[in-house]
Amino acid sequence: RIPYLHSISMGIWVRSGSRFEHPELNGICHFIEHMLFKGTTRRSTLAIAKEIDSVGGVMNAFTSKELTSFYCKVLDENLELAVDLLTDIFINASFPDDEIEREKQVICQEIYQLEDSPEDLVHEILGIRFWKDDPLGQPILGTVETVEKLARSTMMEFKRDNYVPEETVICAAGNVDHDRFADLLERQMRHL
C-alpha cells in the first residue's frame, strides 16, 4: 500500500513462457496472451476495451521466456472494476474461432516485423544460437509454421494445464487496501 497515490497497478503473473513450450507448440503462450483480450463468456472484445477506457485505465499484457503477465492501471476508486476485468479475461476467455484465425495473421505479421528490425533480429538469433536445443532458445512469438498450426483445443488445454493457482501470482501496488483486494479476488477466483 502506498497511501499518498491515487492509483493502483494490478497484475496477474503466470509462470508460463516460451521456455515451457514443446517445440511444436512454440508461440502458444504469446498466442494465449493475445486471445485473453478477444472476449469472455461475459464480455466482447469491444466491451473489455470500453470498460477500461471509460475510467481512463490501461490494460495490457506481455509474454517472456519465463512468464505471461496481464496487468492494468486505474485510479484507486476503480479497483473493483480492475479486479473484475482482469479475473474475467483470465478465467473466462472464450477463444472465438474467428478471432483465432484473425490473430494468427496478426502474430505472423509480428514475426515478419521482427525480421525487419535488425537490432531485434540479431537479439533473437543470438538467443537461438546460444541456447541451441534448450527451450530458452525458442522465440517468444513462435514461428510462422507453429503459429499457423495452433488449434483452439490445443490452446484451451494448454491454458487449463498451465494457468493454475500454484503457477500464478496476483499482486497490486498503490493506494490499495490488502484485505479489500484479497476479498475481491476471493469472490472472483474462489473456484480456483
Residue % of the chain over a pLDDT of 90: 88
**pLDDT tens across 40-79, in order?**
999 999 999 999 999 999 999 999 999 999 999 999 999 9
Contact in structure between 83 and 177 (CB atoms under 8 Å): no
Output helix, strand, coil percentages for the chain, rounded to the nearest 5: 55, 15, 25
- Residues with catalytic annotation? 33
Contact 114, 95 (CB under 8 A): no
Report the pLDDT value the prediction gives residue 26, as an integer from 0 to 100.
95
Q: Where are the beta strands (DSSP E) in 58-184?
A: 58-63, 68-75, 168-174
pLDDT computed for residue 101 by the predictor: 95
86-137 pLDDT tens trace: 999 999 999 999 999 999 999 999 999 988 888 888 988 898 899 988 889 9
